[in-house]
């Protein structure tokens, strides 16, 4: 565990980028080998749009990097935060830190954007994807990326997490998001076993079903424990029958034009009337 802490304490930016890119490539390849649903879409074009939003997320995170680093350094030097209330061995310190950062920086803000109408308008861009795959993981409007960065900062302030733990958490967060969004089919027994501890692909696919109440379940990113404890956990046996997307955004052009997606939160774009909702495996109009 000391080696892990030392590695992330000195990790370079290019190494963090490599971790993110490696996860994306790995799950992209697995989608071609063991797909859950055989989407009829232009995979590269779809990825291009989602990767654009990945890049905007990176830009936002860079803008908040200095604040997060300072908060982390202050908390760890002065031992201020929940992680310092009781002495813990390093392995437990790491686990508790990851759990708390995941709760505040991922679960809570995810739950919040589903509850507050004006915040939901930003999060809607993520849910508008009718072809959920590993590239959907970071399909977030820049405005939502700001929300998430603020709650990551809040998580660091509340926990006092040292910088190595913050970097470790952020790397895991991206990898697990790519994993649970990936369009892959795991043996049901394995997926269920995974979902006992962490968010599995089938568990998260339920969250992308186009209507409530399923849309308002399974908010977790790394750990499934928070959904289980807070009463938002749902598991569906037949995930192939789920329909991804939003019932009010049903035309292909709506969720594949960057300009439309960027304008949605500000009310400058209205979806056309008469669009037909399309299921996950159906052909584009």
184 forms bridges with which residues in the sheet? 35
- What is the structure's pLDDT at 93? 97
Kindly state whether residue 45 falls inside one of the protein's structural domains. Answer: yes
Q: How many CA atoms lie within 13 A of 137 on its CB side?
A: 28
- What is the structure's pLDDT at 248? 67
Kindly state whether residue 94 falls inside one of the protein's structural domains. Answer: yes
Kindly state whether residue 20 falls inside one of the protein's structural domains. Answer: yes
Kindly state whether residue 162 falls inside one of the protein's structural domains. Answer: yes
Domain range enclosing 90: 2-266
Kindly state whether residue 274 falls inside one of the protein's structural domains. Answer: no
Question: CA-CA distance, 174 to 252, in Å (whole number)?
Answer: 27
199-213 per-position pLDDT tens digit: 999 999 999 998 878
- What is the structure's pLDDT at 269? 42
Kindly state whether residue 285 falls inside one of the protein's structural domains. Answer: no
- What is the structure's pLDDT at 279? 39
Dihedral angle computed from the Cα positions of residues 6, 104, 116 and 258, in that order, rounded to the nearest 10 degrees: 10
| Integer angstrom CA distances of residue 189 from 53, 194, 262, 271 | 34, 9, 39, 40
Q: What share of the chain is helix, strand, coil (3-state, %, to 5)?
A: 65, 5, 35
Residue 157's contacts (CB-CB under 8 Å, 6 or more residues apart) are 71, 75, 81
Counting the structural domains of the chain, the total is 1
- What is the structure's pLDDT at 270? 47
Kindly state whether residue 276 falls inside one of the protein's structural domains. Answer: no
- What is the structure's pLDDT at 195? 96
- What is the structure's pLDDT at 265? 85
Kindly state whether residue 22 falls inside one of the protein's structural domains. Answer: yes
- What is the structure's pLDDT at 250? 58
Residues in the chain where the model's pLDDT stays below 70: 248-255, 268-285
């Amino acid at each position: 565990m000391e080696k892990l802490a030392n590695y992330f304490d000195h990790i370079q930016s290019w190494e963090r980028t490599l971790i993110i890119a490696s996860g994306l490539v790995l799950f992209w390849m697995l989608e071609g080998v063991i797909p859950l649903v055989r989407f009829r879409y232009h995979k590269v074009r779809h990825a291009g749009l989602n990767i654009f939003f990945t890049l905007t997320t990176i830009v936002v995170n860079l803008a908040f990097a200095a604040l997060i680093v300072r908060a982390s350094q202050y908390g760890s030097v002065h031992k201020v935060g929940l992680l310092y209330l009781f002495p813990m061995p390093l392995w437990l310190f790491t686990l508790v830190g990851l759990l708390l950062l995941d709760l505040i920086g991922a679960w809570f803000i995810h739950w919040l954007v589903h509850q507050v109408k004006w915040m939901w308008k930003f999060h809607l861009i993520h849910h508008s994807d009718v072809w959920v795959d590993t590239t959907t993981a970071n399909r977030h409007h820049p405005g939502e990326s700001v929300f998430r960065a603020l709650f990551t900062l809040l998580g660091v302030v509340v926990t006092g997490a040292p910088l190595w733990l913050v970097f470790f958490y952020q790397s895991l967060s991206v990898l697990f998001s790519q994993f649970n969004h990936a369009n892959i089919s795991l043996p049901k027994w394995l997926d269920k076993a995974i979902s006992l501890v962490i968010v599995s692909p089938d568990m998260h696919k339920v969250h992308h079903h186009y209507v409530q109440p399923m849309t308002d379940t399974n908010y977790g990113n790394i750990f499934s424990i928070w959904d289980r404890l807070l009463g938002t956990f749902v598991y569906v046996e037949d995930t192939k029958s789920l329909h991804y997307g939003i019932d009010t955004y049903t035309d292909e052009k709506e969720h594949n034009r960057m300009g439309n997606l960027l304008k949605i939160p500000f009310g400058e774009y209205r979806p056309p009337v008469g669009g037909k909702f399309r299921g996950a495996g159906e052909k584009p109009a």
